Chain A
Amino acid sequence: MRRRAGLVAVALVLLACGAAAVQSDDADDQALLADADYAGGLAALKAGDVATALKRFQSALKRFPEAANLHNELGFSYRKLGQFDKAFEHYKRALAIDPRHRAAHEYIGEAYLLVGDVPSAEKHLAALRSICLLPCAELNDLHKAIEAHRGQAMSR
């Protein structure tokens, strides 16, 4: 019998080495998810350590300049730190890369509310309405945030 040592060890070779269709989006997702700085940034955000998260995300950006998810996290981090110009820059980049990025639409909308720009927030609400087609959390959350902002403005 011919020897086939090592085949078991390459259980996923058929997949990992499959006829990939021109640099798939899934490969991009998986590469980013496997990145230590990106994972570290997400963990830091979860722990409430925004400064560390920002540092890790910036490091990951050198390797993943075209990752919409990463730009969205950078936008979120800058927003948390009150650096809105930087936040908008990254949210806009995320949406330029992936115009259907729901979280980026929601978060940039909320960031616009924080700087008092309701019409811009509403533009992203409209975008979410056309993207989601069906009820979605991002649409609901931004809608509630806009309503709450209006309520606060009226009570002032």
Chain B
Amino acid sequence: MMRITTIAAAAAMSLGLAGAALAHDVEEGKGRLGKVNFANSCDTKVQGELQRAVAMLHSFWFSAGEKAFRHVLDDDATCGVAAFGIAAILMNNPLAGQGASPKAAEAAIAAIEQGRRAGAKTQRERDYIEAAAAYYADFAGRPERARQASRAQAFEALAAKYPDDDEAQIFAALYTAGTQAQSDQTFAAYLKAAAVLEKQFVKYPDHPGVAHYLIHSYDAPPIASKGLPAARKYAGIAPDAPHALHMPSHVFTRVGAWQDSVTTNRRSADIAKTDGDGAGAYHAADYMVYAQLQLGRDLDARRVLDEFKSAGGAALPQFAGPYAAVAMPARMALERGDWAAASQLPQQGTQFAFVEAITAFSRALGAARKGDVAAAELDAQMLEAQHKALLEAKNSYWATEVEIQRIAAAAWITKAKGQPDEALRLMRAAADLEDRNEKHIVTPGRVVPARELLGEMLLELKQPAAALKEFEQSQVREPNRLRGYADAAAAADAAGERDKARQHYAKLVELTREADTSLPEVARAKTYLAAK
């Protein structure tokens, strides 16, 4: 049974839609998706599916949502506003920047025409259709950023025209956030959206879009911690929306909330496995392993590796699977400084050069750090070939990522050959380059942060004060990492900064309260804190 809430009734009244069928908890029939109150004048018989479709749109469950909106139009040919939903879904993730494909744009424009012909019964509903249409205007003749700007402008106008329509406020906030440029480090668009959404979050704590878009609106390192309350809530609001299960862990990773990440990714991996979604399962597993390693739960991480060892991740066609399959064992070795294990990691033969590069880099780094220059150089040559292949494929982003690995590997080889100044020059260049290249969402973090490697090189070269500076800088970008604390504490101690060493060791001990192995770093931290 569907319930009509007082909120929905109030919204309907204020929108002049008395008599229309309204607002629902969308918790039945097709899973729990949160509470949505999208006022409309469509037939009573499509209300349940229409509300669920809007809820799916809010959780970026695009395939199921599009089907639901199309069903609504089939069942009620006068429900023109459903065309808005189809057009919105076909825009793809409005925060990812890629936008609609030409084929999707064609389908969206057709849906908009259908919606116009269907003739939505209220001006407000017609305005929703036209706001979505603004994005697709002159689609082939404009860049995505111009389309995004038009969309934000149209939805902001819609929200201003209907100030009592909270769905309009929420969609406008989403599309405002979708105009955030990487170059704007004040995050003006994000914060403008967040200001709207925070108010809506108070009113609608169980609305999937509000919680979801709040997380996205704080998805930048300096403001990520503000997204934690919404991130912790979202999976509970829409536990049957795939995106709601895993997506919050991107924020958990940004702020180093490792237990939250383990919990949500365990659930996400299990559900993905049940559903036969191999790439999704591997992707969640990699995030889980990364979090477990930060907590010092090596046995748990090992169990996940064993669980996924023979599941064929390396051969999956979607790169999230192979990436995770290759990254997980590399993390196990590199996070623990097990250079021998790193140097022996087997190539898994995936079809992606940037995935294969993870193994080549780990092997080269491992070999160089244990002094086997010849072996390291062989793997470095492989990195060079992979870098070249990515450049030729015009895959600039991943070419840069592999270039960072290539330079870092060369730095440690150079150090192993006894040229410390040149080694430092290369390692610093790799760290600086990595700082300029945002990490990809496929990964919770690079298999080892380049700036941490720079700090380790400085520490080995007896420059602990300089090393400490690099470790602390790395912690800003990659917070709450076990190895980051251990390295920083060691550098601080060697530099004679005892208070700082104690601070870093204390954080390490706190982080590893429930560690399942006796890591030497943890034992050292406890001894240090007890002795001083």
Contacts and interface: CB of A to CB of B under 8 A. Distances in A.
Interface in A3-55: 3-36, 42
Report which residue of B98, B280, B410, B429 has the largest number of chain A beta carbons within 10 angstroms of its beta carbon.
B98
A15 B320 CA distance: 7
Interface in A133-154: 133-134, 137
Contacts of A42: 394
Nearest to A7: B275
B279 A6 contact: no
B141 A62 contact: yes
Contact of B219 (A3, A20, A30): A20
A13 B407 contact: no
B318 A12 contact: yes
Contact of A11 (B216, B318, B388, B396): B318
Range class of the B interface residue count:
35 or more
Interface stretch (A65-73, A85-93, A108-116, A120-128): A65-73
A68 to B, nearest CB: 7
Given A11-B278, A27-B97, A63-B144, A21 B242 contact: no
A29 B276 contact: no
B62 A3 contact: no
A117 interface: no
Contacts of B144: 31, 63
Nearest to B92: A16
Contact of B142 (A16, A25, A36, A63): A63
B394 A69 contact: yes
A20 B96 contact: yes
Contacts of B240: 2, 4
Interface stretch (B115-123, B331-339, B436-444, B471-479): B436-444
Given A15-B318, A17-B243, A25-B437, A10 B61 contact: yes
Contacts, number: 181
B96 to A, nearest CB: 4
B44 interface: no
A36 B216 CA distance: 30
B69 to A, nearest CB: 14
Contacts of B284: 14
Contacts of B63: 6, 9-10, 13
Interface in B175-194: 180-182
A64 B442 CA distance: 24
Given A8-B277, A13-B60, A29-B397, A19 B141 contact: no
Nearest to A32: B394
A24 B97 contact: yes
A102 interface: yes
B312 interface: no
B398 A8 contact: no
Given A6-B63, A65-B143, A69-B396, A19 B215 contact: yes
A99 to B, nearest CB: 11
A103 interface: yes
Contacts of B216: 19-20
B266 interface: no
A37 to B, nearest CB: 9
Contacts of A27: 96-98
Interface in B381-398: 384, 388, 391, 394-398
B462 interface: no
Contacts of A5: 64
B194 to A, nearest CB: 14
Given A11-B278, A15-B283, A17-B60, 8 more contacts: A7-B271, A8-B276, A15-B318, A17-B243, A19-B219, A20-B96, A26-B440, A29-B396
Interface of A: 2-36, 42, 62-66, 68-69, 98, 100, 102-103, 133-134, 137
Q: Which 5 A-B pairs have the closest CB atoms?
A: A23-B97, A19-B250, A7-B275, A20-B96, A26-B397
Interface of B: 30-31, 60-64, 67, 92-93, 95-99, 101-102, 140-145, 180-182, 215-216, 219-220, 240, 242-243, 246-247, 250-251, 268, 271-272, 274-280, 283-284, 318, 320, 384, 388, 391, 394-398, 400, 406-407, 410, 426, 429, 437-442
29 contacts: A4-B274, A5-B64, A6-B67, A7-B276, A8-B277, A10-B62, A10-B63, A10-B277, A11-B318, A12-B279, A12-B280, A13-B62, A14-B280, A14-B284, A15-B441, A19-B216, A19-B441, A20-B216, A20-B441, A21-B182, A21-B441, A22-B180, A22-B182, A24-B397, A26-B397, A28-B97, A34-B101, A66-B143, A134-B426
